[in-house]
C-alpha cells in the first residue's frame, strides 16, 4: 500500500487566500488542456502533480529559500494561458529578425509552449539522435525519464508537470557523438493581456554519447491595438537532463526577459559515473527572474562545470539558487557565477554544495563575483559548503566590486570616451562566461545586449 505525502499543512492564520486563488486559477486553465490520446501513466503523473500544487502555496519572503525574492506582484495579475499561435506572421517575422542561429543545423522552436514545426529543423539527424516533441518519443522512454528527476519538489516545477502539454525532447543513443549544437528555442508572445506559458525540456544522453545544447527562452511583445501597454508574461520552465555513464553534455541556457516578464525556471541534472556536464546559464533582464539548478551525482568520478551570468538593471530582480549533491568519490565540481547589477536592481545568489562522507577525494569549488554599476544596486550572496567527508579539497567565496575610477581614467587617457570605457570594462567582466557559448553569432548578440544595458 502506498501513501501520497503532501507538503506540510499551513495553519489558517498563515494561509493567504490570494495565493490559493492564484494557483487555483492557473490549475483550472491547465486542466482544460491535455495531450491527444494521453496515456494512463502520463495522466497519473499530471494528477499527482496537481495534488501537490493544490496542497501548496506560492513561496513568500518568510521562506528561507525565497527570502530575498518577493513574488507578491504575481498574485496581483490574472494570467491567461498563452494560446498556440503556431507559425503566425508575428512569430515568423520575429524569428527571421535574428532569433535563429545559423550555426545550429538542428532546431526545435516552441511558441507559447507548443512546437512549431514550420520553424523547426529536424531533418538529416545523425543516426541514433532523436530531436522532437513528446508525441514522437517512445512511450517506454518517456515514462522512464519524464518528471522522474531526483531532487526537491517545489510548487513551480509541479505546476509545470500538472500542465504537461508539449515537451522538447533530445535523446542521444549510446555512442552517439553530435558535434553541431542543437538549438531549443522557446518564444513567449505577450500581448495586451497577461499570459503564462510552461516550456518543458527532456534531455537524455545515453552511455558514451556527446551532445551540445543551446536552450533559449525569449519573451517578445506582440503589437497591440491603439498602442496599449503590454501585459505581463509568466514563463515557468523545467528542464530535465539525464547524463549516463561516460556521457558528455554541454548545456547553454539563455534567458532574455521582457520588461514585464516573470521568468522562473528549474534545471534538474542527474549525472552517472564518469559523466561530464557543463552548464553556461545566462539571464539578461526580466522584472523577476529565478533559476533553480539542482544536480545529483549517481556515480563516482563525475566532472561538473557550472558558469553563470546575470545582468539586470532598473528595478529588476535576478535570483540564482543552485544545489549540487555529490554522493560518490572522485568528483570534480567547479562553479563560477557572475552578476552585473545596475540602477536599483537586486541580485541574489545562493549556491550549495553537499559533500557527504561517501564522497571522499572530492574536488569542489564555488565562486560568486558581483559588479555593481550603481550606488543603489544591491546584491545578496551566500555560497555554501556542507562537508562531512574528511579527505576532500573544497573552497568557496564571494566578491563585490564596482568599476574603478583609475581603470576608466586609463582608458580615457587612450582616447576612449567614458561611456565606451564603462562598456568595455563591463563586457570584459561578462566575457569570461559568454565566451563559453559554443556559437559565435550568439556570443556576439549577448555581448551587444549586455553593452546596451550599461548606464550612459
For residue 4, is pLDDT > 90?
no
Residues with Cβ within 8 Å of residue 421, at least 6 apart in sequence: 407, 408, 411, 412
Angle between helices 405-412 and 418-434 in degrees, nearest 10:
110
Q: Could you read off the pLDDT of 365-416 as tens digits, one per residue?
A: 999 999 999 999 999 999 999 999 999 999 999 999 999 999 999 999 999 9
Q: Are 241 and 251 in contact (CB under 8 A)?
A: yes
Per-domain residue ranges for the chain?
21-299, 403-455
Q: What value does the CA radius of gyration of the chain take, rounded to a whole number of Å? A: 22
**What mean pLDDT do residues 214-241 have?**
81
Stretch (H or E) spanning 176? none
For residue 137, is pLDDT > 70?
yes
**Residue 189 confidence (pLDDT):** 84
Q: How far is CA 337 from CA 153, 279, 421, in A?
A: 24, 11, 23
Considering only residues 351 and 18, tell me which one the structure prediction assigns the higher pLDDT. Answer: 351
Percent of the chain topping pLDDT 90: 67
**What mean pLDDT do residues 320-340 have?**
98
Question: Where residue 165 falls among pLDDT bands split at 50, 70, 90?
Answer: confident
Averaged pLDDT of the chain: 88
Question: Where residue 99 falls among pLDDT bands split at 50, 70, 90?
Answer: confident
**What mean pLDDT do residues 281-309 have?**
97
Please provide the DSSP assignment of 392-452 as one string: -EEEEEEEEEE--HHHHHHHHTTT--HHHHHHHHHHHHHHHHHTTSS-HHHHHHHHHHHHH
**What mean pLDDT do residues 413-437 have?**
94
**What mean pLDDT do residues 41-56 have?**
90
Q: Could you read off the pLDDT of 5-18 as tens digits, one per residue?
A: 444 433 333 334 33
Query: Which class for 121: exposed (0-12), middle (13-18), buried (19 or more C-beta within 10 A)?
Result: middle
Amino acid at each position: 500500500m502506498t501513501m501520497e505525502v503532501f507538503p506540510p499543512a499551513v495553519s489558517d492564520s498563515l494561509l493567504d487566500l490570494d495565493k490559493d486563488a492564484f494557483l487555483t486559477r492557473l490549475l483550472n486553465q491547465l486542466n482544460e488542456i491535455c495531450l491527444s490520446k494521453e496515456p494512463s501513466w502520463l495522466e497519473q503523473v499530471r494528477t499527482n502533480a496537481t495534488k501537490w500544487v493544490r496542497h501548496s502555496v506560492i513561496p513568500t519572503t518568510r521562506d528561507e529559500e525565497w527570502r530575498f525574492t518577493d513574488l507578491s506582484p504575481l498574485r496581483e495579475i490574472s494570467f491567461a494561458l498563452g494560446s498556440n499561435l503556431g507559425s503566425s506572421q508575428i512569430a515568423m517575422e520575429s524569428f527571421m529578425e535574428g532569433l535563429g542561429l545559423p550555426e545550429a543545423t538542428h532546431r526545435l522552436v516552441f511558441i507559447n509552449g507548443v512546437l512549431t514545426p514550420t520553424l523547426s529543423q529536424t531533418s538529416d539527424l545523425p543516426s541514433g539522435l532523436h530531436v522532437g516533441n513528446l508525441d514522437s518519443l517512445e512511450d517506454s522512454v518517456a515514462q522512464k525519464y519524464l518528471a522522474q528527476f531526483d531532487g526537491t519538489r517545489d510548487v513551480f516545477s509541479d505546476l509545470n508537470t500538472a500542465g504537461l502539454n508539449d515537451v522538447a525532447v533530445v535523446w542521444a543513443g549510446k555512442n552517439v557523438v553530435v558535434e553541431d549544437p542543437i538549438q531549443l528555442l522557446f518564444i513567449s508572445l505577450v500581448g495586451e493581456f497577461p499570459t503564462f506559458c510552461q516550456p518543458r525540456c527532456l534531455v537524455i544522453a545515453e552511455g558514451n554519447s556527446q551532445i551540445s545544447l543551446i536552450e533559449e527562452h525569449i519573451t517578445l511583445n506582440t503589437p497591440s491595438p491603439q498602442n496599449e501597454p503590454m501585459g505581463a508574461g509568466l514563463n515557468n520552465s523545467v528542464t530535465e537532463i539525464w547524463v549516463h555513464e561516460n556521457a558528455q553534455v554541454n548545456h547553454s541556457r539563455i534567458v532574455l526577459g521582457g520588461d514585464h516578464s516573470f521568468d522562473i525556471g528549474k534545471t534538474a541534472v542527474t549525472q552517472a559515473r564518469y559523466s561530464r556536464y557543463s552548464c553556461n546559464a545566462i539571464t539578461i533582464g526580466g522584472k523577476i527572474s529565478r533559476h533553480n539548478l539542482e544536480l545529483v551525482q549517481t556515480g563516482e568520478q563525475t566532472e561538473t562545470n557550472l558558469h553563470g551570468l546575470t545582468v539586470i538593471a532598473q528595478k529588476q530582480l535576478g535570483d540564482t539558487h543552485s544545489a549540487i549533491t555529490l554522493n560518490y568519490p572522485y568528483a570534480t565540481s567547479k562553479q563560477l557565477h557572475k552578476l552585473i547589477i545596475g540602477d536599483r536592481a537586486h541580485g541574489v545568489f545562493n549556491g550549495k554544495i553537499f559533500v557527504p562522507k561517501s564522497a571522499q577525494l572530492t574536488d569542489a569549488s564555488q565562486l560568486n563575483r558581483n559588479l555593481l554599476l550603481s550606488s543603489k544596486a544591491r546584491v545578496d550572496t551566500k555560497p555554501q559548503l556542507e562537508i562531512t567527508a574528511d579527505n576532500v579539497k573544497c573552497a568557496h567565496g564571494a566578491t563585490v566590486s564596482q568599476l574603478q575610477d583609475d581603470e576608466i581614467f586609463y582608458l580615457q587617457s587612450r582616447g576612449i570616451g567614458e561611456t565606451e570605457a564603462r562598456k568595455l570594462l563591463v563586457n570584459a567582466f561578462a566575457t569570461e562566461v559568454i565566451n563559453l557559448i559554443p556559437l559565435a553569432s550568439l556570443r556576439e548578440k549577448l555581448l551587444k545586449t549586455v553593452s546596451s544595458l550599461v548606464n550612459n
